[in-house]
């Protein structure tokens, strides 16, 4: 399969987070003959039952690892293509990236190049479970090239994320006599409104920190004063989280409970000569790897602006370019390490 065909084959395997088994099996079957033919090895690394990472290596030294995630967000929809794009769930986030990385590896192997690997992980869209598992089983990689849609530009930095569940409790009453109750919904929306008004840090490179209220639920019925309510909020971090956490705690005190779900720090990343750069606002698996897979770089074809949407697509030209970019990066980093 060429890079377009492989991208479509991967897209057409539904792999919404927690259901990555089928795409993992496909990649294992695809890479096993490649490993056998060129003296490499490929293995599944269990994360939890029916969920596993895929790792492959060629050469005695693991200098560079090309890595991205296998899971996607819902809803699933199959691939299609036109002259300029391949469409479908995961087209840019990140089935096209997987295909480009594999095709780069195939080209390098045919040219006699070695000392690199592939690492495809589960769970990035939720908790980075696969990357955290990989961090516990490092293989000595000196550099990791993480694939996310950056328009084939190296990201100099990426925002972090801080996620909370905000919980309010109250007392039920008949809505005709609200003074007999205590509305959890009113508490919650008042606290959320104050959170939205909080000043948040700004970084010269990464820009402003932002807050999003992603989900909101609660109450029993229109004619009942609500005794419970909750919301999920996500803050995109651009600096250390201490100041933001303290501000949230002040707003929440005596009104709502804050339950921290996950924190991923903001990142500063490196560049390479000859490759355009950018800055991204999304978070990645890189912090979860904890440095255990080497110095990180972040780059991939496609635009994050269409990821997670019903218009998700990846430009064919960028897929072709990504194959060459990944190959050039691996060659450059291997040469750097050999000095």
The per-residue pLDDT for 146 is 98
DSSP letter at 13 equals S
d(CA 261, CA 163): 5
pLDDT at 337 over 90: no
**Which one of the listed residues 20, 124, 125, 312 is annotated catalytic?**
124
Give the strands of the sheet with 85-87, arranged side by side.
80-81, 85-87, 313-315
Q: Is the pLDDT of residue 21 over 90?
A: yes
pLDDT in tens, 80-108: 999 999 999 999 999 999 999 999 999 99
Q: Is the dihedral of CA 249, 252, 258, 264 positive or negative?
A: negative
- Separation of alpha carbons 92 and 304, rounded Å: 8
Selection from 172, 190, 189 nearest residue 181 by Cα: 172
Compute CA distances 216 → 123, 128, 171, 200, 235, whole Å. Answer: 24, 24, 19, 22, 16
Per-residue pLDDT at 23: 98
Q: Are 174 and 329 in contact (CB under 8 A)?
A: no
Distance of alpha carbon 94 from alpha carbon 71, whole angstroms: 8
pLDDT at 26: 98
The pLDDT of residue 273: 93
What pLDDT is stored for residue 338 in this prediction? 79
pLDDT of residue 197: 97
Mean pLDDT along residues 263-288: 94
Average pLDDT value for residue range 227-243: 97
pLDDT at 8 over 80: yes
Q: Kindly give the residue spans of alpha helices, DSSP state H, lying in the chain.
A: 3-11, 21-37, 96-110, 129-135, 184-197, 242-252, 286-289, 316-338
Q: Is 84 noted as a catalytic residue in this protein?
A: no
SS3 track for 172-200: CEECCCHHHCECHHHHHHHHHHHHHHCCC
At residue 58, the pLDDT reads 98
Give the per-residue pLDDT at 236.
96
- Residues 42-72 pLDDT 10s: 999 999 999 999 999 999 999 999 999 999 9
Confidence of residue 222 (pLDDT cuts 50, 70, 90): very high
Mean pLDDT of the 205-224 span: 97
Provide the edge-to-edge strand list for the sheet that holds 154-158.
Answer: 267-268, 154-158, 277-280
Token pair 């269409």 is found at 306
Q: Chain-wide mean pLDDT for the chain? A: 97
Statement: residue 265 has pLDDT above 80: yes
- Residue 78 pLDDT greater than 90, yes or no: yes
What confidence score (pLDDT) does residue 251 get? 98
Pairing of strands 207-208, 202-203: antiparallel
- Picking from 323, 303, 334, the residue whose alpha carbon sits closest to that of residue 65 is 334
User: pLDDT tens digits for 129-163?
Assistant: 999 999 999 999 999 999 999 999 999 999 999 99
The pLDDT-based confidence of 198 (bands split at 50, 70, 90) is: very high
76 with 95: CB under 8 angstroms? Answer: no
pLDDT in tens, 289-300: 999 999 999 999
| Nearest Cα residue to 81 out of 319, 322, 314 | 314
- The residue length of the chain stands at 339
Residues linked to residue 195 through DSSP beta bridges, in sequence order: none
Task: Say yes or no to pLDDT of 339 above 80.
Answer: no
Q: What is the pTM of this model?
A: 0.89
Burial 224-248 (b: 16+ CB within 10 A, else e): ebbbbbbbbbbbbbbbebeebbebb
Residues near 302 by beta carbon (within 8 Å), at least 6 away in sequence: 91, 92, 93, 96, 97, 149, 151, 313, 314, 315, 318
């Amino acid at each position: 399969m060429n890079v377009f065909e492989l991208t479509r084959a991967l897209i057409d395997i539904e792999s919404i987070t927690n259901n990555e088994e089928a795409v993992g099996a496909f990649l294992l079957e695809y890479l096993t003959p490649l490993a056998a033919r060129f003296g490499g090895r490929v293995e599944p690394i269990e994360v939890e039952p029916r969920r596993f990472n895929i790792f492959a290596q060629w050469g005695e030294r693991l200098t560079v690892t090309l890595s991205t995630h296998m899971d996607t967000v819902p809803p699933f929809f199959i691939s299609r293509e036109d002259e300029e794009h391949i469409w479908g769930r995961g087209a840019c986030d990140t089935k096209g990236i997987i295909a480009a990385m594999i095709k780069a590896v195939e080209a390098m192997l045919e040219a006699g190049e070695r000392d690199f690997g592939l690492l495809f992980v589960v769970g990035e869209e939720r908790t980075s479970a696969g990357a955290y598992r990989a961090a516990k089983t490092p293989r000595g990689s000196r550099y990791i090239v993480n694939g996310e849609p950056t328009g084939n530009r190296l990201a100099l930095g990426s925002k972090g994320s801080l996620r909370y569940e905000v919980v309010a409790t109250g007392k039920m009453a008949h809505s005709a006599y609200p003074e007999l109750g205590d509305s959890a919904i009113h508490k919650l929306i008042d606290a959320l409104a104050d959170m939205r008004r909080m000043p948040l840090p700004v970084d010269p490179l990464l820009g402003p920190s932002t807050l999003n209220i992603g989900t909101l639920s609660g109450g029993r019925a229109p004619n009942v004063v609500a005794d419970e309510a909750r919301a999920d909020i996500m803050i995109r971090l651009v600096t250390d989280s201490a100041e933001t956490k303290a501000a949230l705690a002040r707003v929440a005190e005596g009104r709502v409970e804050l339950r921290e779900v996950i924190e991923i720090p903001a990142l500063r990343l490196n560049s390479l000569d000859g490759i355009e750069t950018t800055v991204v606002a999304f978070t990645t698996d890189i912090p979860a790897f904890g440095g255990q897979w080497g110095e990180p770089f972040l780059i991939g074809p496609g635009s994050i602006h269409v990821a997670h949407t019903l218009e998700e697509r990846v430009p064919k030209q960028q897929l072709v370019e990504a194959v060459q970019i990944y190959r050039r990066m691996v060659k450059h980093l291997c040469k750097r390490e050999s000095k």
